[in-house]
Each structure stands twice: as C-alpha cells, then as structure tokens.
Amino acid sequence: MNAKRDIEIYIHLEGQGEAKVVEADLKENVSDVLARAGLGAGADFSTFVGESTACLMHADDERDDLEDEAETAPLGRSLEDLGARRGLGLHLHCHRCRKVVVEIHYRDKTKRHRFSPSTTVATVIEWARRKFRLTDPDNAKLRLQICDSTERPALDRHLGEITARGSCSLCFNLVFEQKVEG
C-alpha cells in the first residue's frame, strides 16, 4: 500500500477545463512531479505556480499593450521552496505560451494586454473594469464573452485553459450579465 503523500498538486493544462490531480511530497521538485503526471520533464511548456494577479499592477496605467511580469516556476526547486505546505493544495499551470495576448472590446474601445496563462477570468474582468474606467455599481455583473461566440467562460477559469490549441491569443467582448425575464 502506498503511503499518503504530503500534498495534492492540481495541474492545469493548456485548453483543458479540468485540472489533473497528483499527490506529491513537499521535497519533490516540480519537474519530477510533472514527469510523474506524464508531462515529460516540462521542456515543451512553461510552468507557473498559483494564480497570477500581476496584471492588476498595470490596470491603472494609461499605456496599452503591456505585459505581465509573472515568472515561470524554476523546475528544479522543491514544492516546499515554492510555498507548498502540508495539507494545502498547490496549483501548477502548464502552457506552451509564456503569455496570452488578450484583446478586450467594450463599446467602441479596445484594450490589449499580455497576461500570464494562470490569470483567471475574474482577474481579467477586474483589470478591464479599471482599464476602461468603469465605476458603475453594475460592474459586478461584467462578464467576458469570447468574440464571435456566445460563450462566457466561468469566472474561475484560467486563460491558459481557454486558449485553443496552437494559439496564444484570445479576444473578448466585455458585456453585462442580464437578468433572465419571461
């Protein structure tokens, strides 16, 4: 019988909605965990630890088309060195793209930014709200709708899970969630 390991690792992969879950020891390094999960040694993709909110540092900057400063995880470091603790899960995001180029349209304006793939939809909406200077209380109902589609990804989805295979870009319209009426 295998002894229970210290921690659960949630591995979010490019274009996939559900994370792959593996158990690991705190002293293991990232590349060994990825290899055990069947992801090679991480050579074909970049790996990010946790969820990125780096974009919010630039949200009030008037310049367009800036880039997140989020760094990739050093594969030789142990999970413990990267902040993992016994009993708490750790999320790893694996993506070919070091950044996802996002274009967001709101009315007659467009804003662009290069986000980390581990940025959630909710964080992108907050970035967009500040970038477009939207102060109305209805902003809690803001959603991202993928351009030329009716799909609105859930707030907790990460950009890396939404990109199509082979693409490092996304296009959204910023819309308001409407109440359902009969």
Partner 1 sequence: MHLWTKARALKDSPDRFFFKFDFTNYPTEAPTGCLVDPETGELLPQEKRPKGSERVAIVFRTNWKDGTALYHPYDRVAIEGHSAWPTTHPHLIWTPKHTICDLLIELHGLLDSEEYTHV
Query: Which residues of this protein are in contact with partner 1, per CB under 8 A?
Result: 137, 140, 145, 150-152, 154-156, 177-182
CB atoms within 10 A of CB 57: 12
Decide: 11 and 36 in contact? Cβ < 8 Å. no
- Smallest gap from Cβ 75 to partner 1, in A, equals 31
Decide: 158 and 12 in contact? Cβ < 8 Å. yes
Residue whose C-alpha is closest to residue 171's, from 110, 94, 87, 119: 110
**Nearer Cβ to partner 1 (46/120):** 120
**Nearer Cβ to partner 1 (59/146):** 146
- Smallest gap from Cβ 44 to partner 1, in A, equals 28
- Smallest gap from Cβ 179 to partner 1, in A, equals 5
Rounded Cα–Cα distance for residues 57 and 60 (Å): 8
**Nearer Cβ to partner 1 (140/164):** 140
- Smallest gap from Cβ 33 to partner 1, in A, equals 26
**Nearer Cβ to partner 1 (61/176):** 176
For 117, the 3-state DSSP assignment is: coil
Buried b (16+ CB within 10 A) or exposed e, 77-91: ebbbebebeeeeebb
**Nearer Cβ to partner 1 (69/151):** 151
Beta strands 169-176 and 142-146 are antiparallel
- Smallest gap from Cβ 142 to partner 1, in A, equals 12
Rounded Cα–Cα distance for residues 126 and 139 (Å): 9
